Amino acid sequence: MNPTLEQVAQLAGVSRSTVSRVINNHPNVRPEVRERVWQAIRECGYRPHAVARSLVTRRTGILGVVIPESLTTLFTDPFFPLLLRGATEVCNLRKHQLMLLLFNDPAGEEEMYQRVLRNGYIDGVIVASATVNDPLVNLMARDGIPFVFVGRPLDPSIPSVDVDNVGGARTAVEHLLRLGHRRIATIAGPANMTSAQDRLEGYRLALEAYRIPLDESLVVHGDYTEDGGMLAMQRLLPAGPTAVFAASDIMAIGALKFLRQAGLRVPEDIALVGFDDIPAASAVEPRLTTVRQPIPQLGGLAVETLIGLLQGPRARPSMQRIVLPTELVVRESCGALSAFGR
Amino acid sequence: MNPTLEQVAQLAGVSRSTVSRVINNHPNVRPEVRERVWQAIRECGYRPHAVARSLVTRRTGILGVVIPESLTTLFTDPFFPLLLRGATEVCNLRKHQLMLLLFNDPAGEEEMYQRVLRNGYIDGVIVASATVNDPLVNLMARDGIPFVFVGRPLDPSIPSVDVDNVGGARTAVEHLLRLGHRRIATIAGPANMTSAQDRLEGYRLALEAYRIPLDESLVVHGDYTEDGGMLAMQRLLPAGPTAVFAASDIMAIGALKFLRQAGLRVPEDIALVGFDDIPAASAVEPRLTTVRQPIPQLGGLAVETLIGLLQGPRARPSMQRIVLPTELVVRESCGALSAFGR
DNA sequence: ACTATTCTTGAGAGCGCTTCCAAGAAATGC
DNA sequence: GCATTTCTTGGAAGCGCTCTCAAGAATAGT
C-alpha cells in the first residue's frame, strides 16, 4: 500500500495540513519545516493520491478527446494520430492527461455521454467532429461541459480550432489556374462535412477570383475514400477537365488509378492536386501535389485553448475561433515541376 | 451542481445506503423501494460521481496505454491508430476507459511514470513497446502495477499479446520460394526491435526449411523508414537477389523507388514482398504483396487480457502469451499473379 | 404461539485529500 | 513595552461514495 499524507506527517512530526501545504507549494510554511517534510516524502516514497485530491478540488486534469462514430472508420487516415500526438505533447507540458472517447454507433455515443462525460472524471472535452450537426455539441452546451471544437462548428460562438480549409483549397486551385488551366474540376468531399464544404468554397473563390463561371458539371461529390475518388473521376471525365482538385489525397489517389486505367497520363493529360498530404501522397507515381495541414499544432492548440477555458471562464471571449494556415506542397502531379523545374 | 446520493435519498424517502444498493444492483432491496429510488434518480438526473466512488473502491476503470518515446515518431504508421481502435471497442463493451500516455523523451517517461502511473488514476497499463529492453517494464513490475505487453517482452513470464511475426515472415518468404526464387534477400528492421528480430527469424526458418544456406550478403538492416529501405536496397543489389522480403511496407516502398530509379522492373526483374499491409501498400504501382496483421484484434485482446488480470489475479496463469496469426496478401509485386493469374 | 432464521433498512465510519478556522508565535508600529 | 498585525501551525469538517454492523421487520419452523 502506498503511504498517505497522514504517515508522512507523522514521519516529519507535523500535521497533515502542513504536509498538504508543502505538497501544494503554499507560501506560509517555515523553510526548515518545508525541508523536513520533503525529506519525509522522499524517505517513504510518498505520491499524492490523485483521486482523493480530485474529490475535493473538483479537478482531475483529464481531458477527453471525443471522436464520433462516423470518423472511427476513417481512423487509418493519419489525421487523428497526428492530432493526438500534438495534443499529448501539450498535455505532457501542462501536466494534463488525455482520455480517448471513441464509439462505433450512436447508441454508444449516448451511453458514453452519460457514463463518462457526466461522471466527474473529465474536466473538459475536445470534440473532433467533422459532421455538420453533431448532437453531442448540444448536450455538452446544455450541461455546461467545457469543450473545444476541432473543425468548424455550426454555432460560431463555440470555441474552436481549425485549419484553413477554404484558404488551402483556394491556394491549390489558384496554383492550377496560374499554370494555365481553365477547365478545373473538383472532387468534393461529403456535403455534410464542414471540411468538405470549406474546401469546395475555396475552389469557388479561386475560380471567382479569376472570373471563371462555375460549371456544375465539373463538380462531383466523393466520400473521402479511394473508390469514391475513382467513381468521381469517371463521372468527371466526360466534362473534359484539364485539371482536377480532389478534396482529399485518398480520393486523388483513386482518381489517379482511374486515369491510369483510362490510359491518361498525369500530369501531361490531366493535372491533379490533392489535400491532406498523407504519407501515401508521396508514395504514388507521380507524387501528389497537395495541401499540407499543421495537424499536430491543431491538436496542441485545442488542448491549450481548452485548458485556458478551464482556468479562466472569466477571461473567455464570447467567440473564440483559431484558424491555422495550410501549405501547398508542389510535387509532380500538378505539372508545375515539368513546366518550370527542369 | 449535480445532485448527490443524499439528495436522491431524500427525494425517495430512504437512506443513502439504500440508494447506493440500488445503484450497484445489490439484491436485498424491496422491489417497490427499488422502483421508487429509480424514479427519484431519473427525476433529478442523478449520475454517480465516479471520483468519489473510486476513492473507496480503489478502482477507476481507466486503463493506460503507454507508447514510449521511440515510437511516437512512428505514429503516422497506422499501427497505433488501429491498435487503439480495437482497444477502445473492447473498452466500450467492458465499460472501461482508455488513457493515452505518450512521451517524446526518456525524461518525460520518468516524469510520466511518477505522476500518472502511481497516482491512483489508472487500474492497469497496456505497454506497446517495440524495443527490446524498456525500462518501464522493470519499474511497473517492481511497483506491482498490472500490465500487459503488446509485442514480445524479454521476460516471457510477463503477460503479453503479439502477432505472429515469425510465422508471417516465414510464410512470405516461403511464398517467394514456392515461386521458384532461390536468391532471396531481406531488408530487416532495427536489430533492437523484437518485431524486427522475429521477422528475420521467420526469414531464416523459411530458408532452412528449403535447405538454403543463409547468405549474409543478402541480409541488410533498415530502420523501418522509406529512406532506410532505399539505402538497404542499394546495398543489396550487388549481391544479385531475384527477390526481396522487406520487414515493413514502408521499407518495401523505399526499395521499390530505388529499383525504379535503377531501371529495374518489379516483379519481372526483382520480386518484392513487404510486411504490415499499410494503406500505401495498395496505393503504389505495382501493388505490394505483404503480410497483414490483425492489429485491432490485438488491441482488443490486450484490453481483454488486462481486465482479466485486474479481476482475478488468482486465476492468472504464471505465463500468459497470446500470439495472433497473420495473413499473406498476394498482390502484384511478388510476381505470383502474372505467373498464375491470367 | 413462540423461537430461529432470513430480509430489509439506516446509522456511521472511513477512503485520502484540501481548506476553513482559530490559536499561538513572531514581527511590527507607536 | 504594549497593542496590533502578520506568519505559522494544527484541528476538524467535508468532498460523495461504499460497506460493515446492528436493529427491526418479515418469514419459516415446530
What's the pLDDT tens digit per position in B248-266? 999 999 999 999 999 999 9
Instruction: Please list every residue in chain A whose beta carbon sits closer than 8 Å to the beta carbon of residue B81.
Output: 75-76, 78, 80-81
Contact partners, residue A56, CB within 8 Å, separation at least 6: none
Q: Is the predicted pLDDT of residue A193 greater than 70, yes or no?
A: yes
CA distance to partner chain B, nearest, from residue A82 (Å): 7
Q: What is the pLDDT of residue B316?
A: 58
Give the CA-to-C1' distance from A80 to C18 in angstroms: 38
Neighbours of B247 (CB within 10 A): 33
Share of chain B above pLDDT 90, in %: 73
Provide the pLDDT for residue B114: 85
Which of A172, A167, A170, A165 minimizes the C-alpha distance to A272? A172
Q: How far is B41 from chain A (nearest CA, A)?
A: 13
Residues A18-37, mean pLDDT to the nearest whole number? 92
**Which of A48, A78, A283 is opposite residue B284, by nearest beta carbon?**
A283
- How high is the pLDDT of residue B138? 86
- Scanning B216-336, the segments in alpha helix (DSSP H) are 226-236, 249-261, 295-311, 336
pLDDT in tens, B97-106: 999 998 777 7
What is the widest separation between alpha-carbon atoms in chain B? 86
Give the residue among B1, B30, B5, B7 at the shortest CA–CA distance from B17: B5
What pLDDT, on a 0 to 100 scale, did the predictor assign at position B342?
36
End-to-end C-alpha distance for chain B, whole angstroms: 70
Q: Which nucleotides of C are covered by protein (CB under 7 A)?
A: 7-12, 14-20
Show the DSSP H helices in chain B as ranges: 5-12, 16-23, 31-44, 50-57, 69-72, 79-93, 106-112, 135-143, 165-178, 194-209, 226-236, 249-261, 295-311, 336
| Range scoring the smallest mean pLDDT among A3-7, A157-161, B51-55, B110-114 | B110-114
| DSSP secondary structure letter of residue A288 | P
- In this structure, what is the dihedral angle of CA atoms B51, B53, B58, B62, given to the nearest 10 degrees? -50
Stated length of chain A: 342
Judged against a pLDDT cut of 70, whether residue B181 lies above it is answered with yes
- Nucleotide with the nearest C1' to A16 CA: D10
> Across the interface, do B75 and A81 touch by the CB < 8 Å criterion?
yes
Gap between the Cα atoms of A162 and B341, Å rounded: 48
Distance from B117 to chain A by nearest Cα, in Å? 10
User: Is the pLDDT confidence value at A213 over 80?
Assistant: yes
Q: What are the angstrom distances between the C-alpha of A146 and each of A50, A102, A188, A336, B316?
A: 21, 18, 33, 46, 41
Query: At A321, is the secondary structure helix, strand, or coil?
Result: strand
DSSP state of B76: G
The reported pLDDT for the residue numbered B71 is 55
The predicted pLDDT at position A148 comes to 95
Q: How far is the CA of B28 from the C1' of D27 (A)?
A: 15
Using the CA of A46, give the nucleotide whose C1' is nearest. Answer: C16
Q: What are the CA-CA distances from residue A243 to residues A182, A251, A259, A335, A337 (Å)?
A: 8, 14, 12, 10, 15
Q: Read off the amino acid at residue A179.
A: L
Judged by DSSP in three states, B136 sits in helix
Nucleotides of strand D within 7 Å of the protein's CB atoms: 7-12, 14-20
Note the pLDDT of residue A203: 98
How close are the terminal C-alpha atoms of chain A, in Å? Answer: 70
Q: Which nucleotide is nearest to A49 (CA to C1')?
A: C16
Look over chain B and give the mean of its residue pLDDT values, rounded to a whole number: 91
Q: Give CA angle at B102 (B99, B104), nearest 5°.
A: 165
Contact call for residues B267 and B256 (beta carbons, < 8 A): no
Q: Are strands B243-246 and B271-273 parallel, antiparallel or unpaired?
A: parallel
Interface test with A, best of B85, B227, B295, B332 (most A CBs within 10 A): B85
pLDDT band at B67 (very low <50, low <70, confident <90, very high): confident
Contact A118 B47 (CB under 8 A): yes
Rg of the Cα atoms in chain A: 26
Name the residue among B136, B148, B130 with its Cα closest to residue B197.
Answer: B130
Q: Give the residue on A whose Cα is nearest the Cα of B116.
A: A97
Q: Spell out the SS3 assignment of A122-163.
A: CCEEEECCCECCCHHHHHHHHHCCCEEEECCCCCCCCCEEEE
Interstrand relation of A147-150 and A124-127 (parallel, antiparallel or unpaired): parallel
Q: Which of A176, A181, A141 is nearest to A160 (CA)?
A: A141
* Residues whose beta carbon sits under 7 Å from strand D: A 13-18, 21, 27-30, 33, 55-56; B 1, 4-6, 16-17, 20, 23-24, 46, 48-49, 52-53, 55-57
Is B3 within 8 Å of B46 (Cβ atoms)?
yes
- If 0-12 CB within 10 Å is exposed, 13-18 middle and 19+ buried, where does residue A16 land? middle
Asked if B96 and B61 touch (Cβ cutoff 8 Å), the reply is yes
**CB within 8 Å of A157: residues ≥ 6 apart:** A318, A319
Confidence band, pLDDT 50/70/90 cuts, at residue A341: very low
Cα dihedral B115, B118, B119, B122 in deg (nearest 10): 110
Let me know: does A280 contact B310? Beta carbons within 8 Å. no
Indicate if the pLDDT at residue A106 is higher than 80.
no
Q: What are the contacts of B57-62 at 24+ separation with CB within 8 A?
A: B58/B120, B59/B123, B59/B310, B60/A51, B60/A121, B60/B97, B60/B120, B60/B121, B60/B122, B60/B123, B61/B95, B61/B96, B61/B97, B61/B123, B62/A99, B62/A121, B62/B96, B62/B97, B62/B98, B62/B99, B62/B121, B62/B122, B62/B123
Is pTM beyond 0.85? Reply is yes
Helix (H, G, I), strand (E, B) or coil at B300: helix
